[in-house]
Structure 1
Amino acid sequence: MPVTKRLEILDLIRELQQQLNLSQKQFAAKVGVSFKTVNRWENEYTVPSRIALKLIEEMLRKMGEPGKSLLSQYFPEAE
């Protein structure tokens, strides 16, 4: 999977939440996971599954222009 380092994942999740103006709870609902799961990602206890990363990638694509920057930064081979 393209995003492999924990800090990269943490940065991606935080940036995406900020750009979409979503709380952890709202972000969790968009990705289809629990609040607890997103909290664990952000506290570096676990990393998103491949399925969750794929959903995040799709979310970035749907954002259009604002998502392109994050997409190219965190999913470079997806371009």
Structure 2
Amino acid sequence: MELEKTLKISDLIRELRQQLHLSQEKFAAKLGVSLRTINRWENGSTVPSQMALKLIEKMLQNMGEPGKRLVNEYLPKAEQREDS
């Protein structure tokens, strides 16, 4: 179960970064983390901290419909919080 969650988060990070047309380096700078951290998130060896996840959620919300689709696909709990 935990492995599945890690893979989903890594897919979300990669897809979000690609939709924003950002390199790993530029995406890292936007989030205030290192390039190595983004690389680890994307390959699934680590997961973002709660603070980083909040920043990622905010980026998704600012994307409009494409971001909403990613939230629904990868962060269904975030969508439930938003509706509350």
Question: TM-score per shorter chain, which class?
Answer: 0.7 to 0.9
Q: Where in structure 1 are there 5+ consecutive unaligned residues?
A: none
Secondary structure, aligned partner of 2:22: coil
Deviation at 1:41, TM superposition (A): 1.2
More contact order relative to length (CA 8 Å, sep ≥ 6): 1
Which structure has the larger Rg? 2
Deviation at 1:77, TM superposition (A): 2.8
Deviation at 1:78, TM superposition (A): 2.5
Runs of 4+ in 1 over 3 A off after TM superposition: none
Task: For 1:77 and 1:44, locate their aligned partners in 2 and report how far apart those are by CA, in whole Å.
Answer: 20
Tell me the percent identity.
67
Deviation at 1:22, TM superposition (A): 0.7
The residue identity in structure 1 corresponding to 2:68 is K
When the two structures are aligned, how many residues end up with a matched partner? 76
Q: What TM-score do you get using the length of structure 2 for normalisation?
A: 0.81
RMSD: 1.4
Per the alignment, residue 39 of structure 1 pairs with 39
